[in-house]
Structure 1
Amino acid sequence: MSITLTKAPFRADQVGSLLRPENLHKARKEFKEGNITAEQLREVETQEIKRIVDKQIEIGLEAVTDGEFRRTWFHLDFLEHLNGIEGYVPDHGYKFEGLETEKYDVRNIGKVSFNPDHPFIQDFIELNEIVDGRAVTKIAIPSPNQLFNSGIHNPAIYPDIEEYANDIIQTYQDALKVFYDAGARYIQLDDVYIAGLSSPEIPFNNGKYSRDYLIDLALRVANGVLENKPEDLVVTTHLCRGNYQSTWAFEGSYDLIAPTLLAKEKVDGFFLEYDDERSGDFKPLEYIPTGGAHVILGVVTSKNGELEDKEAIKARVQEASQYVPLEQLGLSTQCGFASTHHGNKLTEEEQWIKLKFIVDVAKEIWE
């Protein structure tokens, strides 16, 4: 199958994760209890991925994903398969508004590098074969900066955080090359860490490093990863404030990171969370260079099934166009529908209605 340059990110786009159907939950439970094999579980995953790929194409999305149906977490499944990183069960889960997540995390146990046998590569190849050129195959992986979240970096292995950063850059450069060689032309980097740097209430690294230093480091890591990116590989960043069973982890506008990361990160687009007042206003978008990165406005929420008012969404896009030219904007939900296997609190039917709504509204705005 020939591969052509995409127009991604698209006017109507999506963050990537989709609600897991009940039979997939059931198969995962049966596998965990030893009642079915890994091969049998994978077959269930594959059949469901085929179904949702067809559905995404049917409703008009130009970029389709596997819904992250082979993952438990949007980020940990990828990170724990890097060399030098392992998954483990900590004493506590992540703190979200009103609840604590399931207990699982990753930690640094050795020098970090990319594993060429990373399971996500085969997952992408199989997804791309299912899509079969009918749309652009999109894959979302955690941003390299996710490895700077509290508790992951091991100072005994990397006393110098700059050395840690350099190895992460090389790891992700290698990852992008392997995905590209496998046929990937649209990769999204999911980043809660960078969004967190813009939240004044969140302390990082126990105060060892200043916020300004960490923002600068995050920019250098992101741009270092993209330094040798092929011209026809589209890479976007999705900035998120947490998405777990319809709750959130923190709040704050993009003000603190806009002059650095929004202005200078060399991605092709930003997926930005703007579905409620926690996100602040659109003013930080003034730092996006004209003719630079596209901004995909996450003004439709994935956290509940209530459908937004079409005219209100159009008005919000017009408001954002005061800071970024309309031709540089697009539309999506603020996050995926299931950043973890648990999923948000809405039905699958409501999920598809939201995605079709985004496609239809985008057509009215831009066509």
Structure 2
Amino acid sequence: MNIPTEPIGSIPRSPELIAALASGEVPPDRLDRMYDDAVRDTIARFEATGSPVITDGEQRKYENFWTYPVHGAPNTLPDGFQIPFAAGHIRRMPRLAHAPFRYERHADSYLEVARRYARVAVKQAVISPSALSLMYPPEGIPGYSRSEFIDDLLGEHEKEIRRCLAIGAHKVQVDFTEGRLAVKLDPTGELLNSFIDLNNLALGRFSEDERQRIGVHTCPGGDRDSTHSADVDYANLLPSLFELKAGNFYVALAGEPDPVQVLKMIRECIKPWQRVFVGVTAPIDPRIETAEQVRDRVLQAAEYIPLAQLGTTDDCGFAPFCDDCSTTRDTAFAKIRARVEGTAMAAAILEGSR
């Protein structure tokens, strides 16, 4: 029996790369070489864990997983939507100042580089339309309606996913960490529903077969060992989440205080054509899980989720924001190795019990 296991995306950057980015003084050609070295090292270490699916660790994503497509766009300002974390710090999105909305870069450019070096399957994470929709200011933009903005946003998102699929992405994972945050910002559920509707407009542009290679990731955020919405009950998110027209869902679980209750909700919400990758390692927890702990988490999940629809993952990326050095690369890869080995142990036990 095989239980698929996949990462979420980001791996902490090396201290040298973080310092180079922070200084802003490294010549572009040298910085490009540093990026390339970081990608090659990340892929080599990823493959050494035995992970059958890897990423490039998001080493080249400018600033973070959220705003990489628009980093440096000339028609943006830095005073956009604020994301407050429990630790007290705030991350901020850019604000769109005038038309048109366009990506400065698409994630297939990262995937293309990664596949040059990888010997196993590579997945690619992309940001959701709902996250980027927060760039449009509440007061509007003269001569550029919100509907025009949404049309442009959906077009760019579709183009990005199609390019990733076309060059061989194992999966394209849509990061939807703002889903749980939406419930915190608006307990009525209206903001969450608007996000679901918007993302479904995007997913609806793909065929059923294509959607089996597209997934959605949800977590309470992860930055500097902190979260932005862990206090939000999953009961207010999961029923809506599984209405998304995606074939795969990556659900943070290892860091939840009551994983059984979450698994029961997943069992009630999952559709027959959907697979759920449950989180079995907690990136913001400095303790490294053992393979045995992962095994037990997988066996617990198998009590509630049909084996044909079960997979494993990490709760979140290990450094979604590029300057986050709260987790080391060694810790990240140790947790990934535990995920891979523990998943295989559980699969062997479940195979023997059939």
TM-score by length of structure 2 reads: 0.84
**Equivalent of 1:75, from 66, 70, 75?**
66
**CA RMSD, aligned part only?**
3.0
* Aligned-residue offset at 1:146: 0.4
1:225 aligns with 2:202: yes
Partner letter of residue 37 of structure 1? P
Distance (whole Å) between structure 1 residues aligned to residue 135 and residue 258 of structure 2 = 22
1:96 aligns to what?
85
Residues 106 and 152 in structure 1, CA contact (< 8 A), matched pair in contact too = no
**Equivalent of 2:51, from 58, 61, 66?**
61
* Aligned-residue offset at 1:53: 0.5
2:189 aligns to what?
211
Q: 1:188 aligns to what SS in structure 2?
A: strand
1:303 aligns to what?
284
Partner letter of residue 216 of structure 1? N
**Aligned counterparts, 1:270-349, within 5 A:** 270-277=249-256, 281-282=261-262, 283-343=264-324, 345-349=326-330
Q: 1:26 aligns to what SS in structure 2?
A: helix
1:96-154 CA-partner distances (Å, limit 9, x unpaired): 1122135x421123445544x625443332222222xx111221121111024487555
1:48-104 CA-partner distances (Å, limit 9, x unpaired): 21111111112111222111112321111224477x9625256x96321122135x4
**Aligned counterparts, 1:2-21, within 5 A:** 11-21=4-14
* Aligned-residue offset at 1:303: 0.8
Residues 97 and 249 in structure 1, CA contact (< 8 A), matched pair in contact too = yes
* Aligned-residue offset at 1:181: 3.6
Distance (whole Å) between structure 2 residues aligned to residue 327 and residue 150 of structure 1 = 39
Residues 252 and 316 in structure 2, CA contact (< 8 A), matched pair in contact too = yes
Residues 121 and 169 in structure 2, CA contact (< 8 A), matched pair in contact too = no
* Aligned-residue offset at 1:215: 3.2
**Aligned counterparts, 1:227-246, within 5 A:** 227-229=204-206, 231-232=209-210, 234-246=213-225
Distance (whole Å) between structure 2 residues aligned to residue 221 and residue 119 of structure 1 = 20
Residues 148 and 193 in structure 1, CA contact (< 8 A), matched pair in contact too = no
Residues 113 and 170 in structure 1, CA contact (< 8 A), matched pair in contact too = no
Distance (whole Å) between structure 2 residues aligned to residue 175 and residue 23 of structure 1 = 30
**Equivalent of 2:169, from 184, 201, 220?**
184
**Aligned counterparts, 1:30-49, within 5 A:** 30=23, 32=24, 34=25, 36-49=26-39
Partner letter of residue 267 of structure 1? A
* Aligned-residue offset at 1:278: 5.7
Q: 1:57 aligns to what SS in structure 2?
A: helix
Distance 1:75 1:88, change over 3 A: same
Structure 1 residue runs without a partner (length 5+): 1-8, 205-209
2:153 aligns to what?
168
* Aligned-residue offset at 1:223: 2.1
Paired residue total: 341
Partner letter of residue 115 of structure 2? N
Structure 2 residue runs without a partner (length 5+): 349-354
TM-score by length of structure 1 reads: 0.81
Distance (whole Å) between structure 2 residues aligned to residue 124 and residue 153 of structure 1 = 34
- Of stretches 180-189 and 266-275 in structure 1, the one that deviates more from structure 2 is 180-189
**Equivalent of 2:132, from 133, 142, 147?**
147
Partner letter of residue 236 of structure 1? G
* Aligned-residue offset at 1:362: 0.8
